Structures are given as C-alpha cells and as structure tokens.
Amino acid sequence: VAIGMMNRLSGSTEEILEVSGQDTKRQVVNLAEIVDHKGQPSVRRRGDWVPVARQRGIEQVVLSFLDAVRAGKVLSARDALATHELCERVVRAAQERGLG
C-alpha cells in the first residue's frame, strides 16, 4: 500500500510518501528524512547542505540523460508522459472537489 501527500495550503508546506508492506512501513518526509518502521522506528536524515536539485532528483535525471546522449541511446518519454497525465488527473479531480 502506498500513500503520497503534498499539502501547501495548511499554513505549513508538507510532503509525505508512505509505503507499507508485510510487517514494515517506510515514510519519506519532506524529502529530508526517511523513517523505517520495523520494530523500533529508525530515522535517517539527509545532510543540511544537499543541493535542492539533488533532493528533488533533477540532478540524477540530467546525469542519466547526459549518459544516454554520450552512449548514443535514444530515450523514450512515454513513461514520463503517462506519469504527468496521471498527476494532472489527480490535480483536476482535487480542483473539482474544491480541494486546491
């Protein structure tokens, strides 16, 4: 089971991703900490000076693209397009319900 939540309207910006499986749960909170719940919770925090582009995955995407260009590999954007279309449907549904 997976739940993703982003809240920018409550007076406090918050992003939470939670994935649960058999006997375990992992939360990523504000892209700053990972909490593993298996027995006692354990918390791992990212460094305070990690660039935003790395936190958000932009750096990794750009490096992957550059590697593909160097290798002469043609990349498909179909998976990214499908993801963006899904996100757009979620946003529209929330707006229709007056949630955003």
The residue extents of the domains of the chain are 1-48, 50-99
Which H/E stretch holds residue 5? strand 2-7
At 94, list the tokens.
């929330």
pTM value is: 0.62
At 58, list the tokens.
């932009």
Q: What is the pLDDT of residue 46?
A: 87
pLDDT band at 37 (very low <50, low <70, confident <90, very high): very high
Q: What is the separation of C-alpha 82 from the centre of its chain, rounded to a whole number of angstroms?
A: 16
Render the burial of 48-77: b for 16+ CB within 10 Å, e for the rest: eeeeeeeeeeeeeeeeeeeeeeeeeeeeee
Q: What is the pLDDT of residue 100?
A: 60
Helix, strand, or coil here: 13?
coil
pLDDT band at 58 (very low <50, low <70, confident <90, very high): very high
Computed over every residue of the chain, the mean pLDDT equals 88
